[in-house]
A = this chain, B = another copy of it.
């Protein structure tokens, strides 16, 4: 079932889809309802052995796929729970196999008993991600789509959801497969040449290959470059609020958080922990890095600990450097700014200076106004004045990125690595053409590029890669 392009024919499919697997698909805990999944060749027989429809004369065979039927899960002669029971007939299911979903009362005890019943009838507990693995093995989705399912479940902002969703729908896969297909055609021609090597013919037009490589290279480079943005959008853009003690860092963080929390807390049952230090502004998550180190003491700049603090700041893409405008002279400010910029070096980081406590000043001194050119925002964190100027400034970092709203971004480090290796192979092919090397050597590098591009979508894969990918999934997905 597994479509794969094998370099050496050594790969063996170890994953067994002859077994029927079961798992809870909803989150653990006491809740209104819970859903338990069953997939595999025995899913329907097992399901029908433990379930009796409430309408006694209703034959499940008359009920089509995807129909929810009310009835009882039976433990021998005794009803265990009243449930909704749904059959999904192959190939129209998530895994592509026959599947059953049982929607039961959300008691962990009842869920446990239903799983136990399924196992008593021959199913076994699914491993994390095993349902999605089967969807992949059965050719329902490719590997990058499978990875997107996990990303979608983990998504916690509009940006991360959108990227995962696009990838799940196969936009990224199509792009990669398209590039690979073109390359594959050329590789076939080159390999044909090898068969006729004694005759010294060239089926593959070198100029055309060169042109194709240019095209692929350009696309690979674009995708690779999108990774830092894609990754940052997925994880949340790291932001550090730095500054001396008592300049109002916590007050600012709270002012930023409060606005966001107001929206989230309307809906009960969503986890609060996750947004502890993440602020979502217009769908983009900003992840605030704890820079407690800078608060340790006034003379922190002289202490040993300062290096550690700067290490933390280095993780950030954006640094909000705060100072107390009411207590600092222009000279002091410009000196601090210079000092801070120097220490940081220029590593593509944006530094935004925040002049806080304008509520304590009668008016902003005229000469301060020059600071505006240096990207300084004057605020009162306490009175929540001009906070929106900061959020607008944060959003700028994202806007300065891809013009097209629906650009395909690489968000997965495995894909980034594969693209990097593919780029290396393509570079080698180009060099080979330039140096007029023999076709068989060219073919090796071409195969390398094909291999690495194919590993993204799973056209080429290994048990190790699959194990690594699906290990990180939820149970029941």
A116 within 8 A of B: yes
A315 within 8 A of B: no
With contacts A107-B155, A110-B155, A155-B109 taken as known, whether A33 is within 8 angstroms of B26 at the C-beta atoms is: yes
CA distance A400 to B82 in the complex (A): 30
A106 within 8 A of B: yes
Residues of B within 8 A of A68 (CB): 66-68, 86
Residues of B within 8 A of A111 (CB): 269-270
User: In chain A, residues 439-477, which have Cβ atoms closer than 8 Å to a Cβ of chain B?
Assistant: 474-477
How many identical subunits does the complex contain?
Answer: 2
- Bitwise interface map of A from 252 to 280 toward B, beta carbon under 8 Å scored 1, else 0: 00000000000010111111001000000
User: In chain A, residues 132-151, which have Cβ atoms closer than 8 Å to a Cβ of chain B?
Assistant: 149
Interface residue from B30, B84, B154 paired with A107 (Cβ < 8 Å) = B154
Interface residues of A, dominant DSSP: mixed
A329 to chain B, nearest CB (A): 45
A27 within 8 A of B: yes
CA distance A69 to B125 in the complex (A): 27
With contacts A32-B475, A112-B267, A125-B267 taken as known, whether A153 is within 8 angstroms of B24 at the C-beta atoms is: no
A16 to chain B, nearest CB (A): 20
Residues of B within 8 A of A23 (CB): 32, 269
Would A474 and B30 count as touching, CB distance under 8 A? yes
Query: Across the two chains, which residue of chain B brings its CB closest to A116?
Result: B267
Pick the most buried of A30, A33, A80, A86: most chain B CB atoms within 10 A of its CB. A33
Interface residue from B26, B264, B477 paired with A35 (Cβ < 8 Å) = B26
A122 within 8 A of B: no
Would B30 and A27 count as touching, CB distance under 8 A? yes
CA distance A39 to B67 in the complex (A): 19
User: In chain A, residues 19-65, which have Cβ atoms closer than 8 Å to a Cβ of chain B?
Assistant: 23-35, 37, 64
Residues of B within 8 A of A156 (CB): 107-109
User: In chain A, residues 296-338, which have Cβ atoms closer than 8 Å to a Cβ of chain B?
Assistant: none
Query: Across the two chains, which residue of chain B brings its CB closest to A115?
Result: B267
With contacts A165-B81, A264-B112, A269-B475 taken as known, whether A106 is within 8 angstroms of B27 at the C-beta atoms is: yes
A75 to chain B, nearest CB (A): 9
A100 within 8 A of B: no
Would B153 and A30 count as touching, CB distance under 8 A? yes
Residues of B within 8 A of A123 (CB): none
Would B30 and A29 count as touching, CB distance under 8 A? no
Residues of B within 8 A of A160 (CB): 109
Residues of B within 8 A of A266 (CB): 125
Would B26 and A32 count as touching, CB distance under 8 A? yes
A79 within 8 A of B: yes
CA distance A161 to B66 in the complex (A): 29
Interface residue from B69, B264, B474 paired with A106 (Cβ < 8 Å) = B474
A235 within 8 A of B: no
List 7 extra interface pairs beyond A24-B269, A28-B29, CB under 8 A: A25-B33, A82-B165, A107-B152, A107-B153, A109-B160, A110-B161, A269-B475
Q: What 8 pairs between A and B have smallest CB-CB spacing?
A: A32-B477, A27-B29, A27-B31, A32-B476, A26-B26, A27-B27, A25-B32, A28-B269
